[in-house]
Amino acid sequence: MYAIVDIETTGGHASANGITEIAICIHDGKKVTRRFKSLVNPQRDIPVYIRALTGITNEMVSTAPLFEDVAHEIYHLLKGQIFVAHNVNFDYSFLRYHLHAAGYELNANKLCTVRLGRKIMPGLLSYSLGKLCSHLGIGNNSRHRAMGDAEATAHLFSLYLKSDTANHIGQALKLNSKEQRLPANLPKADVDALPNCPGVYYFHDEKGKVVYVGKAKNLKKRVCSHFTGNNAGQQRQEFLKSIHRISHQVCGTELIAFVLEAVEIKRLWPKYNRSLKRFENTYGLYAYEDQRGYLRLAVDKHRKHMPSIYACNSLLEGYSLLNKLIETFSLCPKMCFVQKNDQPCSGNNVNACACEGHETPNEYNIKVTAAIDELKKALPTFAIRDEGRNGEEHSCILIEEGRFYGMGYISHYFDANNIQQLKNYLTPYPGNDYIKNIVTGYASRYPERKVSFAG
């Protein structure tokens, strides 16, 4: 037996919205044998746009029963039946959430008439309930009302049962079938095409735009994990609704996947990624030549199009480094913007200080250049050589002078000890401290995979 369900609600997610109307058609595989419908008092205001869409007003539901008053009958109508709906996860998440609040636990096998339509009647321009009914000549004089849409879905489901020569419904109902967990608009073929290996995956919306990027040690397992559970929150429901397609890139190792995910989030700025958007080098140590020809060092906010000598996450870190260089190489605090008052220079040799003109640009610049060179020498340069996507290649990530340079794949036989030759085989990428810390941490844990370069 099938329970074909449609509900009207005050909003798009169950955790903060109520049900205003419910209809259930019990279907025996040939016809509807029982019907149930009821308005429901959601105990909150129905938004104007929903009133306009459904025709259900606050006045109409003011005297209707609360959901808890009809929960017992609804639960026993659904218990033991196959739960069928158009975009089933929406209706199921609402009813499961509100039945739980009323003291009932709904656990039903599900069928989605959107997903079934794509399989049984492929090639249509749209699989919305209205467009399907129009295409198939199914009448519905009460669109966007629960019983009108439930009756139309029941009629549609009857046609599916008659047309399902390939047994798609039976396949979906198998105990090990997880297809009904998938978002309504996501082709199962996209999930089936995912390999069980490391990589990066992309969720695309209806227009093809990437709305989420993720990394995985096992692509298929990780992607499927997004669709388990019955979280009724707004963010999850909107997220699932937006997924229409999945693409992916296979990576040689989980480390490559970690780095590529961070790079792609910065490049694509997907709507539903949040955490990695926050990682950004806030400050940097910069060098420039002033009008008199003196090289000046300064700590400043991160500048997107001006490379820094050293990237740092705080002003304190930047000035701590700069003060060490001033002390070690007898640089001028005023020329480095550390001392900003009009008092005499606090440098090591006040009588031969550049800010007083006692050092020529050439003399002072030699010290600044030495400080920069020493700083760069202290920054690590190494590569990580690891497993590739197949037995003929290795993956490779390069850190140059403390910065993430790029990554790629090299031949199993390639000698990676020459950094200039290696760079010809790698793709440069923008980096940040998040990537640098991941790679350096990995190098510490797996020193046998680290390739060092001669100075």
Residue 431 lies in a domain: yes
The reply to whether 19 and 160 lie within a common domain is yes
Q: Please confirm, yes or no, whether 144 is among the known catalytic residues.
A: yes
Task: Evaluate the CA torsion angle 339, 345, 348, 354 in order and state its sign.
Answer: positive
Summarised one tens digit per residue, pLDDT across range 262-319 is: 999 989 999 998 876 565 657 889 999 999 999 999 999 877 777 788 877 788 888 9
Residue 278 lies in a domain: no
Residue 181 lies in a domain: no
CATH number at residue 96: 3.30.420.10
What pTM did the predictor assign? 0.63
In this prediction, residue 241 carries a pLDDT of: 84
Summarised one tens digit per residue, pLDDT across range 95-127 is: 999 999 999 999 888 999 999 999 999 988 889
Q: Which residues of the chain have pLDDT under 50?
A: none
The reply to whether 248 and 346 lie within a common domain is no
In this prediction, residue 176 carries a pLDDT of: 54
In this prediction, residue 157 carries a pLDDT of: 95
Residue 180 lies in a domain: no
Strands 210-216 and 110-112: unpaired
* Distance of alpha carbon 436 from the chain centroid: 21
In this prediction, residue 270 carries a pLDDT of: 93
The reply to whether 88 and 58 lie within a common domain is yes
Residue numbers of the domain that contains 161: 2-174
In this prediction, residue 171 carries a pLDDT of: 86
Catalytic residue (choose from 13, 27, 144, 248): 144
The reply to whether 135 and 226 lie within a common domain is no
Residue with tokens 């640089």: 331
In this prediction, residue 436 carries a pLDDT of: 85
- The domain total for the chain is 4
The reply to whether 371 and 393 lie within a common domain is no
- Residue 117 CB partners (closer than 8 Å, separation 6+): 124, 127, 132, 156, 160
